[in-house]
Amino acid sequence: MLVVRGVTVSGYRSLRRISFPIENLSVFVGGNGTGKTNLYRALELLQAAARGTLTRDLAAEGGMDSAFLAGRRRQGEPARIHLSATLRHETTGQDFTYAVEIGLVPQAGAEIIGAAFRREPQVKAGRLTLRTGGRAAVILDRDGRTGFVRDAAGRKQSLGSDLLPTETALGGLLDATGQPEIARARQAMTAWRFHHGFRTDSESPLRRPCLAVTTPTLASDGSDLAAVFATLAHIRQDTIDLDAAVDGAFPGARLIVPEPGREASFGLTIPDFAGRVFAAPELSDGTLRYLALAGALLSYRLPPFIALNEPETSLHPDLMDPLAQLIARAAERTQIWLVTHSERLAAGVAQFGGAPPRTVIKRDGETWIAGLKLSGEFAEADDEE
């Protein structure tokens, strides 16, 4: 499995340039307006680059005018967004570093140069580097319209001319069967899961039955939550952890998962109403959101990386410790990235998972992390030596 070991972002919203390590369990806490969500969103954009939807996702969040560095650029500093991540193979120790750079379409007067709309994001460069021991090799490189990939034998092959300036090479390389390392890196990144709140309104997919299909991993929007529960209850036939999570949050309550027919569903029994099963449409927003988080963190097969953005939203303060225990338990099986407002949740994760929270701050109007050095390491790393 490839685990994320470091991230670098520059030129994006409140992130002028920041490089930081990622642990198996990373917790970031801070107040409103410090830029926590920009850190989270940068990771989403890296995944979008691997999927091939980067420019579409940037356009959807307001376009480059919204995404570019909010502060004043230094003299000579290009209007570019740079994103990169380093992933390490746990068995071989190899490092995969993927970097992508995005800017605007070049224009000469009123004439647009390049196959893109006037304000559309354009991929300027993309590179995937494989480091084995002390040796590094570029296995995918794209600079403007030209580039190459290396096959399994190390030979360079042209990317060809079909790649549009708005497409990433990693996402656009549809047939990577001859480049196993490239396929491995892309597969790892596209498997990441991002959970930024779950809809709990009356039309929320959480409140509706879903198709009864074996579902080992929860979708980002939670739309297959009932199928995730049914997979644990009737395929794996093991809901011990799930039952403990429900009872820890709602003492005496029990999750009910009927044998699925065409559709899967679930409900909850509550001690004050013995014999009454409350179906998903009847549950409170906080109860339903907690169950969705339990589905994300206790599913049959966890993705290689789970990012949670402010999961405490709409939850009662008494649920912070049960949620912290859920997060700590999941971190034993996969990487967890947590961004939160809640000092209590951060403290709980530190208690149950041993991960010290990192405080996100604003420094001269730019997002930074307390204790982070310019070298991309946290200061206490030196203190431990």
Q: CATH number for 194-354: choose from 1.20.120, 3.40.50, 3.90.1690, 3.40.390.
A: 3.40.50
Residue pLDDT, tens place only, 19-31: 999 999 999 999 9
Mean pLDDT confidence for 7-16:
95
The pLDDT assigned to 63 comes to 87
The residue-averaged pLDDT of 340-345 equals 96
pLDDT above 90: percentage of residues in the chain: 76
Residue 52 zone, left/alpha/beta (φ > 0; ψ -120 to 50; rest)? left
| pTM score of the predicted model | 0.92
Q: Which residues contact 174 (CB under 8 A, 6 or more apart)?
A: none
Above pLDDT 70, what percent of the chain?
A: 94
Q: Which of 121-135, 148-162, 220-234 has the lowest mean pLDDT?
A: 148-162
Look over the chain and give the mean of its residue pLDDT values, rounded to a whole number: 91
Give the per-residue pLDDT at 119. 75
Q: What is the pLDDT of residues 107-136, one digit of tens each?
A: 655 444 455 677 788 899 999 999 998 899
Res 40 pLDDT > 60: yes
74 pLDDT higher than 80: no
H and E: helices and strands count for the chain? 11, 21
* pLDDT at residue 87 greater than cutoff 80: yes
| pLDDT exceeds cutoff 50 at 157 | yes
Domain boundaries, the chain: 2-192+359-383, 194-354
| Rounded distance between C-alpha atoms, residue 131 and residue 134, angstroms | 7
pLDDT (mean) for 152-170: 82
Q: Which residues contact 282 (CB under 8 A, 6 or more apart)?
A: none
**Three-class SS of the chain:** CEEEEEEEEEEECCEEEEEEECCCEEEEECCCCCCHHHHHHHHHHHHHHHHCCHHHHHHHCCCHHHHECCCCCCCCCCCCEEEEEEEEECCCCCEEEEEEEEEECCEECCEECCCCCCCCEEEEEEEEEEEECCEEEEEEEEECCEEEEECCCCCEEECCCCCCCCCCHHHHCCCCCCCHHHHHHHHHHHCCEEECCCCCCCCCHHHCCEECCCCCCCCCCCCCHHHHHHHHHHHHCCCHHHHHHHHHHCCCCEEECCCCCCEECCEEECHHHCCCEEEHHHCCHHHHHHHHHHHHHHCCCCCCEEEEECCCCCCCHHHHHHHHHHHHHHCCCCEEEEEECCHHHHHHHHHHHCCCCEEEEEECCEEEECCECCCCCECHHHHCC
